[in-house]
Amino acid sequence: MSAPLRIAVHGAAGRMGRRVIALATADKKIEVVAAIEHDQHNLLGTDAGELAGIGAIDVPLSSKWPSDADVVIDFSLPEAIDRCIDKCVSHNTSLVLATTGMTDEQVERLRDAADKIPVVWAPSMSLAVNLSMKVAQQITEKLMSVPGGLDVEIIERHHRFKADAPSGTALKFGDMIAEKLGDDTKHVHGREGHTGKRTQNEIGYHAVRVGDNPGEHTIVFGMLGERIELNVAASNRDCYAGGSLAAAKWLSGRSAGMYDMFDVLEM
């Protein structure tokens, strides 16, 4: 049997980090070698398995960057991303980057890094979400020329703790739909006041923050007389955690480059 894939989890004490550690520990082909957090975290030194609710795994939460990881899986915050990218490059470690809400400069930094190391970058690691993105493009292609016109609106629902809006996934749905609609597509975030009539070349985004929702996206394709609503909803976070582990395995042995979940899932 080949040696297990050595992963480090960045943002290890977070909601996602804990699930990644739990699922990775249950997978014989993976070894968790590091659980990384910022140097002010009040749980530094705590066993990452205990935090994840699976019992001790002998990996303490630490702010030190590991030297023995094959892949870093990141679910953290935009402010933590620059260091993460730079450390992966300097340690020649592959990176699965799942954090959303990055600035344009950070995206540029990530693209530069992907010239040197293999990177999977996607706002959603979920199989169902990525498949729905492809379906949304097909629906758009079929309906964009219907008599009376097509209105596309994206409603996303997430837990009250989410820091960024709209979700990275909603923005990616919008970008992929706009690829089909055309270059003059406008992205409109919410509506208020005397907005006037809706224009035909816009995509509307609506971010709902409620309770503990782990992530739900509804793409409304509205026409005169009927509509389609494409809804994809997580019941828990394991669809994202499992997807990130699949991405980490897929990266093993790849050359430097920027990849996404469509590559991993062969879609």
Ligand X SMILES: O=C(O)C1=N[C@H](C(=O)O)C[C@H](O)C1
Ligand Y SMILES: NC(=O)C1=CN([C@@H]2O[C@H](COP(=O)(O)OP(=O)(O)OC[C@H]3O[C@@H](n4cnc5c(N)ncnc54)[C@H](OP(=O)(O)O)[C@@H]3O)[C@@H](O)[C@H]2O)C=CC1
Look up residue 58 and give its amino acid.
D
CB of 160 to ligand X, least distance (A): 11
Q: Which residue, 166, 142, 164, 162, is CA-closest to 230?
A: 142
Among 215, 241, 245, 250, binds ligand X (CB under 6 A): 215
162: annotated active-site residue: yes
Q: Which two tokens stand for residue 175?
A: 């970008």
Q: 80 labelled as ligand-binding?
A: no
Q: Contact 219/152 with Cβ under 8 angstroms?
A: yes
Residue 37's binding partner out of ligand X, ligand Y, none, with CB under 5 to 8 Å set by partner kind: ligand Y
Which pair of structure tokens corresponds to residue 237? 């976070």
Q: Is 215 annotated as a binding residue?
A: no
Residue carrying structure tokens 């992963």: 7
- Looking at the Cβ atoms of 69 and 73, the one nearer to ligand X is 73
Residue-wise burial string across 189-199, b where 16 or more C-beta atoms lie within 10 A, e elsewhere: eeeeeeeeeee
Residue from 17, 49, 123, 204 binding ligand X (CB under 6 A): 123
CA 33 centroid distance within chain: 22
Least distance from C-beta 265 to ligand Y, angstroms? 13
187 is in an annotated binding site: no
Annotated binding residue 100? yes
* Residue in the block written with tokens 């990141």: 74
Q: How far is CA 27 from CA 8, 21, 31, 46, 47, in A?
A: 14, 10, 8, 22, 18
Contacts with ligand Y, residue ranges (CB under 6 A): 10-11, 13-17, 36-38, 41, 75-77, 80, 98-101, 122-125, 240
Answer yes or no whether residue 244 interacts with ligand X by CB under 6 A.
no
70, 162, 173, 177: residue in contact with ligand X (rule CB under 6 A): 162
Closest CA relative to residue 255, chosen from 87, 89, 119, 121? 119
**Residue 98 CB, nearest approach to ligand Y (Å):** 3
Confirm or reject binding of residue 243 to ligand X (CB under 6 A).
Answer: no
DSSP bridge pairs for 47: 60
Q: Which residues of the shown chain bind ligand X in the complex (CB under 6 A)?
A: 100, 123-124, 158, 162, 167-169, 215
Binding residue numbers for NAD(+) = 11-16, 37, 98-100, 122-125
**Which active-site residues does the annotation give?**
158, 162
